[in-house]
């Protein structure tokens, strides 16, 4: 069975219209109809009552719909786990901008722990750059520890622990 057919089936049942479902899926109505026919051939059961349009699910279609979301979710999870194995251990550079205060207070401990967990990651520390927002927006640094919220709304900001 093709897992994509289940995705098509789920979308069709949720939308209840072949044209609208095929548009959402970015496929032709013919492709959608063929996929549904393939599922019906696979299960040797009619899944959908239809004339020129979607009318309702058959009892077999109801059972398939009730279970297909879990099947697709589990397949995606399985696929993700297997792909994670092929990717291997995280590696590369993490560029951090900070001030001396953060470096001394917790960053050194954090980097030491992370380096033990992920020895292929190289941490590069930049000290107290005045143009932090420009460096982030231009992908020159990955993380910046700042004392106030950035002015630029494109920058994700997390309010962490404050020191006194």
- Grouping H, G, I as helix, E, B as strand and the rest as coil, residue 126 is strand
Concatenating the DSSP letter of every residue in 20-89 gives: HHHHHHTS-HHHHHHHHHHHHHHHTS--EEESSSEEEE-HHHHHHHHHHHHHHHHHHHHHHHHHHHHH-S
Averaged over successive runs of 10 residues, the pLDDT of the chain (164 residues) comes to 89 93 89 93 93 89 91 81 68 76 65 82 75 76 74 72 49
Look at residues 39, 20, 37, 38 and name the one whose alpha carbon lies nearest to residue 29: 20
Question: What gap in Å lies between CA 122 and CA 145, rounded to an integer?
Answer: 18
Q: Is residue 61 a contact partner of residue 13, using CB atoms and an 8 Å limit?
A: yes
pLDDT value at residue 136:
76
Handedness of CA 84, 86, 91, 96 (dihedral sign): negative
d(C-alpha 33, C-alpha 9), whole Å: 10
Q: What is the pLDDT of residue 163?
A: 47
Hey, what are 134's tokens?
A: 């420009």
How far is the C-alpha of 105 from the C-alpha of 163, rounded, in Å?
A: 9
User: pTM above the 0.75 mark?
Assistant: no
Helix (H) or strand (E) holding 97: strand 92-98
């Amino acid at each position: 069975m093709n897992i994509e057919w289940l995705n098509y089936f789920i979308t069709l049942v949720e939308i209840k219209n072949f044209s609208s479902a095929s548009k959402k899926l970015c496929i032709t109505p013919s492709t959608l109809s063929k996929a549904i026919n393939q599922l019906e051939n696979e299960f040797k059961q009619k899944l959908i009552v239809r004339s020129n349009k979607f009318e309702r699910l058959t009892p077999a279609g109801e059972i398939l719909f009730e279970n297909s979301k879990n099947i697709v979710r589990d397949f995606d999870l399985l696929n993700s786990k297997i792909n994670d194995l092929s990717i291997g251990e995280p590696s590369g550079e993490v560029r951090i901008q900070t001030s001396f205060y953060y470096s001394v207070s917790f960053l050194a401990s954090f980097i030491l722990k992370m380096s033990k967990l992920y020895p292929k990651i190289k941490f590069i520390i930049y000290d107290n750059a005045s143009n932090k927002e420009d460096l982030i927006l231009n992908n020159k640094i990955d993380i910046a520890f700042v004392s106030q919220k950035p002015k630029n709304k494109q920058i994700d900001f997390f309010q962490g622990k404050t020191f006194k």
